[in-house]
Amino acid sequence: MTTQSEGPRTRTNFNKNWKFFLGDEPTAKSTNFNDSKWRKLTLPHDWSIEGKFDEKTPAKPEGGGLPTGIGWYRKEFTAPANLQNRLITIEFDGVYKNSEVWVNGNCLGKRPYGYTSFFYEIGRFLKPGKNIIAVKVDNSAQPDSRWYSGSGIYRNVWLTSTAKVAVAKWGTFVTTENTGKVNVRTQIENKTLRPQIIAIVNSVYSADGKLVVKGQAQALKIDTSGTTVTGDLSINNPVLWSVQNPYQYKLVTEILQNNQIIDRYETKFGVRAFNFDAEKGFSLNGKPMKILGVCLHHDLGALGAAINVRAMERQLEMMKAMGVNAIRTAHNPPAPEFLDLCDKMGFLVMDEAFDMWAKKKTKNDYHLHFKAWHKRDLEDMILRDRNHPSIILWSIGNEIREQFDSTGVAITKELVGIVKNLDQTRPVLSALTETDAKKNFIYQANALDIYGLNYNHKLYKDFPKNYPGVKFLATETTSALATRGFYDTADTIRRWPKDGKTKFAEGNKEWSASAYDNVSAYWGSTHEETWKEAKKYDHVSGLFVWTGFDYLGEPLPYPWPARSSYFGIVDLAGFPKDAYYMYQSEWTTKPVLHILPHWNWEKGKAVEVWAYYSNADEVELYLNGKSLGKKSKQGEDLHVQWNVDFEPGTLKAVSRKNSKEVLVREVKTAGAAAKIELIADRKNIKADGTDLSFITVRILDKDGNIVPNADNMVDFKVAGAGFIAGVDNGFQASLEPFKAAYRKAFHGLCLAILQATEKAGTIKLTASSAGLSSSSITINTAK
């Protein structure tokens, strides 16, 4: 018999036409509930980001100072055709948190962990025609995550229909060797209630869609518990996946019955090999390279936790341009699309499961569910993610409290076992802080492949002496603090807060931290202090700087109204702070010249002028045409510096190599704010309902110089085929809403994020501000 009559699987985006209610409405699970008054929306959705900042919010400033609570989602949908012969699955990429799902009033289950992806088979509850799905999301128990989590169905939802004999979800595992040998393990389900005879065929396609190799059909009899089959294929002269050339192949798995294709399952993969060495560090495809990484939380600034592929891609583009080659998904599994982007754009990834185990960090965090759910959540992360060529490390946890007591030994062994059972091709580590290995019970478990150390950069040097033969990675570093465009010199580097007894730093009345790279948390170090150590030693396989971007929540070192982090190399709006260019000068091969600070000071003030540069022997600085001398980096220096008595005019830096000019940078004293300039990151975007154009708003004087301290209120009007998805200015203590048609500039800049509708056309954004001439920009959207 054939198990089904129509074609192979369909996977449909299930984001549209949801109804939403903020609050608890227990009867909404039943089919006949009337939701006509509820708000209609399209997922992904984060209700927290739509709320008002409030010091008293249960999530506290540490959680971003935005509302959490309970929310309900409902959707009426038409069941896929031929129900009785199909397996119908609903897939949630992420719901924050404690989701409960009902289909036609039938409870499918609960999922406490808000960062996990999960799915339910729903066919047996469906009827032909109209059906109702209801989802309760409960993020009311706070404090929870130590950063902003967002609330709601904040990642994509999918509806899949397959034959009753099909490849299981996350059912393939592709491993490769650089010789071109490809091993495929496939889990096949049989829900027909009787044994079936089928054949399975694997084919590999090149990135441009050409058939590379087709395996032999393998005939199988499968009983009702399903089966797992393995097979080998061989690619001649494979193109290797690397950071520079992130080449991916596509495996197509076909299941045939009676000469008909009843399932077709696609798996992207890359051919690459890597190694960690205790002395020589990391290598990819045999070539030594340092892992130059940043840690990223999952929020997308003004867009909150609601995932948007373009917003993630923009973050990664900025990281790539800075020279970053690796991302640590701190401290939880990311959206699947984030990993797809890393595969495609060439980033290495450390995929992290947890920020705590059974011992809590906050009252209502995942420790409450760890016992019941850790196995399932960890397994699901590995099963979901193990085909991504970008992933080179599994982290079972960040700064886990069980380091400090003997329960850590057994849990570490168990978690490592869970991972190794599903994937033996990648090392497992944990980001540790207890530096005395004898006292570190996670280390004592003797189960980890690599020693991952957070902070403590002074210990890098002697690591090989203290831990002979142990592989080493700086899993988290730095925690420097800065506010874009704010400069404050100090004779010594500041530690804010200064020690473990002080919660907040004295700080300043601007709620800012200097962008001269002279402030860090006491457990951390400045960007330069850290990188100088990490770059010195080959045995340091790499580092993950805390953090690439500012993120919502954890506003250390300030109390309210600070509500987002100061750690980012780039601010929350996506404007680089100055340290960005230090990394760029060190981590890329392109010529860099960047000078700081701005050039608007009181006459006579002694100002430190810094230059980051590369691909040059020296930099000469001029003030109003007069040379202030040439400087070049000595020894370990990462920048050069002049002390200049301020006078208004033009500060100009020229970098030279062998006396030939490489780059010139100028900064001019700005006059009064006079006009607005709008710059789009992309002027042509897709009319797909999700694509974005990020518009940088610059406040200029009449001559076109950016006004460095401008804080003008900017009003936006938008017309045509788009809307404002969010606004921001990167200031960590701004309490203006992110969903608004206005924003104050901060140090001369703010941002408006335009989102396309599904109608092709143009989006016109007009920005105006009292006393300034206004400006507009037009973005084209096309199908």
Chain residues binding ligand GAL by CB under 6 A are 146, 398-399, 454, 476, 479, 521, 524, 546, 554
Of residues 551 and 575, the one with the C-beta less far from ligand GAL: 551
Least Å distance between CB 546 and ligand GAL?
5
State both tokens at 644.
């200049």
Of residues 332 and 512, the one with the C-beta less far from ligand GAL: 332
Of residues 144 and 476, the one with the C-beta less far from ligand GAL: 476
Of residues 333 and 524, the one with the C-beta less far from ligand GAL: 524
Task: Using CB positions, name the residue nearest to ligand GAL.
Answer: 479
Least Å distance between CB 521 and ligand GAL?
5
Least Å distance between CB 454 and ligand GAL?
6
Active site residue 476: yes
Packing angle, helices 336-345 and 367-385, rounded to 10: 40
Which secondary-structure segment (H or E) carries 408?
A: helix 407-422
* Cis peptide bond upstream of 547, omega within 30: yes
Per the CB < 8 A criterion, the answer to whether 727 and 696 are in contact is no
- Residue bearing tokens 């750690």: 567
Of residues 159 and 521, the one with the C-beta less far from ligand GAL: 521
Least Å distance between CB 399 and ligand GAL?
5
How far is Cα 286 from Cα 279, in angstroms, rounded to an integer?
15
State both tokens at 247.
């080449």
Least Å distance between CB 455 and ligand GAL?
7
The catalytic position among 476, 528, 533, 586 is 476
Of residues 257 and 518, the one with the C-beta less far from ligand GAL: 518
How far is Cα 31 from Cα 84, in angstroms, rounded to an integer?
21
Least Å distance between CB 565 and ligand GAL?
8
The catalytic position among 91, 189, 254, 399 is 399
Of residues 397 and 485, the one with the C-beta less far from ligand GAL: 397
Active site residue 352: no
Beta strands in 472-536 (DSSP E): 472-478, 494-495, 519-520
Determine the distance from the C-alpha atom of residue 253 to the mean position of all C-alpha atoms in its chain, rounded to a whole number.
Answer: 30
Of residues 297 and 652, the one with the C-beta less far from ligand GAL: 297
Identify the three-state secondary structure at position 591.
coil
Beta bridge partners of 253: 202, 265
Which secondary-structure segment (H or E) carries 15?
A: none
CA atoms within 13 A on the CB side of 232: 6
Per the CB < 8 A criterion, the answer to whether 424 and 449 are in contact is no
Alpha-carbon torsion, ordered 73, 78, 81, 87, to 10 deg: 10
Least Å distance between CB 117 and ligand GAL?
22
| Single-letter code of the amino acid located at 554 | E
Of 219, 216, 229, nearest in space to 197 by CA:
219
Q: What backbone phi and psi angles, to 5 degrees, belong to 413?
A: -60, -40
Per the CB < 8 A criterion, the answer to whether 283 and 274 are in contact is yes
How far is Cα 331 from Cα 431, in angstroms, rounded to an integer?
10
Least Å distance between CB 295 and ligand GAL?
7
* Cis peptide bond upstream of 58, omega within 30: no
Helices (H), 34-123: none
660-668, strands of its sheet edge to edge: 626-631, 618-623, 650-657, 660-668
Residue 78, number of CB atoms within 10 A of its CB: 10
Of residues 442 and 623, the one with the C-beta less far from ligand GAL: 442
Least Å distance between CB 433 and ligand GAL?
7
DSSP assignment letter at 251: E
Residues forming the active site:
399, 476
